[in-house]
Amino acid sequence: QIRHLCGLAVFENYLYTVDSDNLSILRINRYNGTDIQSLARLDNAKEIHVYQKRSQTAVRSHACEVDPYGMPGGCSHICLLSSNYKARTCRCRTGFILGSDGRSCK
């Protein structure tokens, strides 16, 4: 039935793909190929990814968590996580300069 597929994602009992002929997202039963449903139409879709809470890595804490004073990572303006979720860098909004403490903006 389907001639041109772009991208493929697997989640639970279904395959999700983009049918490039009619630009629709399809859900197909992964065990028998039946139960094909068109979920939506998208212009110019080429890939598909499934994001679901159960499939995401749980992070218990990170360096930019809000502190007791309501400041993310102890930064007065902006907290940026490094590639290691335990480290962070504070930045300031436009017009402010980062203080010598590396956290407050003046």
Residue 1 or residue 44, greater confidence: 44
Same domain, 92 and 73: yes
Ramachandran category for residue 45: left, alpha or beta (phi over 0 → left; psi -120 to 50 → alpha): beta
Same-domain status, 50 and 74:
no
Q: Do 67 and 43 lie in a common domain?
A: no
Q: Give SS3 for 89.
A: strand
State whether 101 and 65 are in the same domain.
yes
Tell me: do 43 and 20 sit in the same domain: yes
Residue 48 and residue 87 in one domain: no
Residue 23 near residue 43 (C-beta atoms within 8 A): yes
In degrees and rounded to multiples of 5, residue 12 shows phi and psi of 50, -125
- Give the global pTM: 0.48
What's the structural domain count of the chain?
A: 2
State whether 48 and 63 are in the same domain: no
Longest Cα–Cα distance in the chain: 65
**Residues in CB range of 91: below 8 A, 6 or more apart:** 75, 77, 78, 79, 80, 98
**The pair of three-digit structure tokens given for residue 43, joined into one six-digit string:** 């212009």
Dihedral over alpha carbons 45, 32, 50, 23 (to 10 degrees) = 10
What is the domain range of residue 22? 5-55
What confidence tens digit (pLDDT) does each residue in 26-71 have? Answer: 899 999 888 889 888 887 777 888 877 666 666 568 889 988 888 9
